[in-house]
Amino acid sequence: MDFGFKLSPSSAVNLDTVDHARYDRLVQLVPDALTCIGCGSCSATCTAAPWSGMSVRKVLLGLQRGRDDEVDSMLSKCMLCGKCTMVCPRGINTRHLILTLCRLSRKGEVVR
């Protein structure tokens, strides 16, 4: 029956069920990714960010919160310039991280 309104999907992230296989695989390959403190300097300096919303910080967070579509969209905008690597206070090789991530399927398999 059409009531003219519907059940709205919840934006809440359920950590019990969220699939983070790709993140788990990533941190096996790039353990430094675990040390991100979410400071945002990568996004602040990012060449692509102002035009595309790319943010390494958000990519890492999105992977842990099941937001794969947003992650893939952001990754496709990266120009691999490496500015984010220069600025990271934790010394994460973010360029390497992005390249590694691009090779992983959503299930965490190395596909490329």
Give dist(CA 20, CA 13) in Å, integer: 12
Q: Does 44 bind other proteins (CB under 8 A)?
A: no
Least distance in angstroms from the C-beta of 77 to other proteins: 18
Cβ atoms of 44 and 56 closer than 8 Å: no
Instruction: Find the helix packing angle between 21-29 and 56-64, rounded to 10°.
Output: 130
Give dist(CA 105, CA 25) in Å, integer: 10
Q: Does 108 bind other proteins (CB under 8 A)?
A: no
Which of 39, 79 has the CB closer to other proteins?
A: 39
Least distance in angstroms from the C-beta of 24 to other proteins: 9
82 Cβ neighbours under 8 A, 6+ residues apart: 94, 95
Residues 55-94 that bind other proteins (CB under 8 A): 57-58, 61-62, 64-65, 67, 90
Binding site for other proteins (CB under 8 A): 1, 3-8, 10-16, 27, 31-32, 34-36, 38, 57-58, 61-62, 64-65, 67, 90
